[in-house]
């Protein structure tokens, strides 16, 4: 089987995913991905169209396959034919979504920034491409590799990321009216602006985009699982929590599933995250848009606690045995709080070491 055949099959599975439940079509996907990642012609010089098909498929399926991600990113950098706007944009979006991090990642960001800056100055990018580029750039900003693509430390962030984002905002300004008419595009742009409001607060956002963002509204259906977690947080004295609230705007339009105040005034942000927040084939790989959410909420002064689907009781138990479900949910919350506290302690220790 040729590399093109393998890429086409992977893409076909991703298209079936649009009309069928993913688990029905994934048994062969690991085998196909592994076969392509070791195929001689793919390793030597992958066809640019195959690179695009693979990147599009991995993004759509939320499928984290590090070798393929690395090989596709490398192909974009090394193959002149693959360095077109369509493929480069998809490569950046895929790397951001699936949290791909390697020595290639900053080079990819730098190459994309250079390429798209030139196209933006010539006015050659439409609104859809600009919004996708904004989303990928904003989400990738949480990844340290993408955050400092041309150097080390904060100075590189200021000299590389900030001017590129500013140029991107100016290009988006001219598309504001048409973007307002498209809910998906508007939603992606609003998400990017929320990220930058926290990560790059000194950006000069054009008034047209400020006005556009004012139209943003929050609507969310509170799941039974979230209601259960809220109830247990309120009814368990050992947590020492008060002011337990659901669907709270913690700043800049970031809504948190549940907030609470704990001992010593610690502000908690509980996020009840289902499978859609993680790679479909690896529940330990948090998707980039979820990771940047946690990053931003953390920057706003909250200790983020992720209560994940893996930690919680299965839906069957939730429906048939409330006592068992409550017990398992309580254990999941305790586990999640311990994990969050451990992460905070590690970050504090690293910051102290850096200062010392």
- Please give the pLDDT value at position 24: 60
Torsion 340-346-352-355 (CA) sign: negative
Please report whether residue 97 resides in a domain: no
317 half-sphere exposure, CB direction, 13 A CA radius: 12
Contact 337, 288 (CB under 8 A): no
153 Cβ neighbours under 8 A, 6+ residues apart: none
User: d(Cα 262, Cα 301) in Å, to the nearest integer?
Assistant: 13
Closest among 228, 242, 253, 235 to 309, alpha carbons compared:
228
Burial of 183 (0-12, 13-18, 19+ CB in 10 A): exposed
Closest among 93, 105, 83 to 129, alpha carbons compared:
93
β 303-308/282-286 pair status: unpaired
Please report whether residue 94 resides in a domain: no
Contact 194, 252 (CB under 8 A): yes
- What residues form DSSP beta bridges with 269? 259, 304
Please report whether residue 74 resides in a domain: yes
- Please give the pLDDT value at position 231: 94
Find the largest Cα–Cα distance for the chain: 63
Split into its structural domains, the chain has a count of 3
Domain C-terminal end among 161, 194, 217: 217
Please report whether residue 123 resides in a domain: yes
- Please give the pLDDT value at position 213: 84
Which two structure tokens, joined as six digits, stand for 161?
């990321």
Please report whether residue 234 resides in a domain: yes
320 half-sphere exposure, CB direction, 13 A CA radius: 4
User: d(Cα 268, Cα 301) in Å, to the nearest integer?
Assistant: 9
- Please give the pLDDT value at position 145: 35
DSSP assignments along 103-127, one per residue: THHHHHHHHHHHHHHHHHHTT---H
Q: Are residues 270 and 343 both part of a single domain?
A: yes
pLDDT in tens, 181-222: 888 898 999 999 999 999 988 889 999 999 888 877 777 788
Domain C-terminal end among 192, 217, 242: 217
Question: E strands, the chain, where?
Answer: 242-249, 255-261, 267-273, 278-279, 282-286, 303-308
pLDDT in tens, 62-78: 999 999 999 999 999 99
Q: Are residues 11 and 109 both part of a single domain?
A: no
CATH number at residue 290: 3.40.960.10
Q: Are residues 213 and 228 both part of a single domain?
A: no
- Please give the pLDDT value at position 355: 35
Q: Are residues 113 and 23 both part of a single domain?
A: no
Please report whether residue 184 resides in a domain: yes
pLDDT in tens, 110-148: 889 889 999 999 999 999 999 999 999 999 864 433 343
- What residues form DSSP beta bridges with 308? 273
Please report whether residue 327 resides in a domain: yes
Which two structure tokens, joined as six digits, stand for 345?
């302690």
Residue 183 sits in which domain range? 104-217
Helix (H), strand (E), coil (C) string for 221-238: CCCHHHHHHHHHHHHCHH
Closest among 41, 38, 75 to 55, alpha carbons compared:
75
Predicted confidence pLDDT, tens digits, the chain (356 residues): 999 999 999 999 999 887 766 666 678 899 999 999 999 999 999 999 999 999 999 999 999 999 999 999 999 999 888 888 999 999 999 999 999 988 888 888 888 988 999 999 999 999 999 999 999 999 986 443 334 334 444 444 444 688 889 999 999 999 998 898 888 898 999 999 999 999 988 889 999 999 888 877 777 788 888 999 999 999 999 999 999 999 999 999 999 999 999 999 999 999 999 999 999 999 999 999 999 999 999 999 999 999 998 887 554 455 567 777 788 889 999 999 999 988 877 665 544 333 33
DSSP assignments along 246-282, one per residue: EEEE-STT-EEEEEEE-GGGPEEEEEEE-GGGEETTE
CATH number at residue 193: 1.25.40
Please report whether residue 99 resides in a domain: no
* Beta carbons within 10 angstroms of residue 128's beta carbon: 16
- Please give the pLDDT value at position 83: 85
SS3 244: strand
């Amino acid at each position: 089987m040729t590399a093109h055949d393998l890429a086409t099959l992977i893409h076909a599975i991703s298209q079936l995913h649009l009309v069928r439940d993913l688990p029905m079509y994934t048994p062969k996907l690991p085998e196909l991905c592994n076969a392509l990642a070791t195929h001689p012609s793919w390793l030597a010089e992958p066809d640019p169209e195959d690179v695009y098909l693979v990147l599009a498929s991995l993004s759509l399926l939320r499928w984290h396959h590090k070798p393929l991600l690395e090989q596709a990113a490398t192909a974009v950098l090394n193959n002149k034919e693959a360095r077109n706007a369509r493929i480069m944009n998809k490569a950046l979006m895929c790397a951001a979504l699936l949290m791909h991090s390697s020595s290639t990642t900053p080079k990819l960001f730098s190459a994309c920034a250079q390429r798209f800056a030139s196209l933006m100055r010539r006015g050659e990018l439409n609104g859809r491409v600009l919004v996708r580029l904004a989303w990928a750039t904003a989400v990738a900003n949480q990844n340290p590799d993408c955050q400092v693509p041309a150097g080390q430390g904060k100075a590189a962030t200021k000299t590389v990321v900030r001017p590129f984002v500013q140029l991107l905002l100016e290009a988006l300004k001219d598309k504001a009216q048409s973007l307002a008419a498209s809910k998906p595009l508007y939603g992606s742009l609003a998400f990017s602006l929320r990220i930058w409001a926290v990560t790059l607060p000194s950006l000069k956002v054009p008034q047209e985009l400020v006005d556009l963002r004012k139209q943003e509204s929050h609507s969310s259906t509170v799941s039974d699982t979230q209601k259960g977690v809220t109830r247990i947080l309120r009814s368990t004295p050992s947590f020492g929590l008060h002011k337990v609230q659901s669907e709270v705007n913690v700043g800049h339009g970031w809504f948190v599933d549940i907030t609470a105040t704990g001992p010593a005034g610690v502000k908690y942000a509980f996020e009840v995250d289902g499978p859609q927040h993680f790679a479909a084939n690896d529940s330990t790989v948090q998707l980039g848009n979820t990771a940047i959410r946690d990053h931003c909420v953390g920057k706003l002064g909250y200790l983020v606690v992720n209560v994940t689907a893996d930690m919680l009781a299965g839906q069957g138990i939730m429906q048939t045995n409330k006592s068992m479900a409550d017990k398992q949910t309580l254990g999941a919350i305790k586990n999640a709080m311990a994990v969050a506290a451990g992460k905070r302690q590690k970050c504090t220790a690293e910051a102290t070491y850096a200062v010392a």
